[in-house]
Amino acid sequence: MNTGDLKQEIMRLNNRVNQAVFGNGLRWQKVDILGNKIVIVAENMRARPLAAIDDREAFVTRLVDVALLNEFKSRLRQELQEGLGVTVRSILKDYDPKQQVAGTIVLTEEKLDDSVGDAGVRQE
């Protein structure tokens, strides 16, 4: 699968998981693949019940956000592993409810593109 097709499949899987967990599709998303890293930036539609209480119950909505993010990561891991046959090492995700933007970083065991090796130094 070429990188363009891989990005399209990742976007499809990401949107499907977003719909299942949050009840909404994405307004837009962008996927970048760098070696064994998938970076996804997306604009989400805030779940209406959470939007209704965000200003008065920010702590409560943040707790719900964290629980939903954890469920999202679990489901996205499964979709990527089953749908793409990659081994997911870790998924990092956060969400800004004011701007309705989410950032996701997926680390895989396999290199997914032909980029030059990492410039970082790994410490054991």
pLDDT, position 118: 52
Q: Which domain holds residue 97?
A: 3-107
Question: Of 51 and 14, which is predicted with more confidence?
Answer: 14
How is residue 11 written in tokens?
Answer: 């976007």
Is there a domain that residue 118 lies in? no
pLDDT single digits (tens) 72-109: 999 999 999 999 999 999 999 999 988 999 999 999 99
Domain count for the chain: 1
Query: Sheet holding 88-96: strands in order across?
Result: 26-34, 37-44, 101-108, 88-96
Distances (CA, A) of 15 to 30, 53, 56, 123: 11, 25, 29, 35
CATH number at residue 58: 3.30.980
pTM for the full model? 0.87
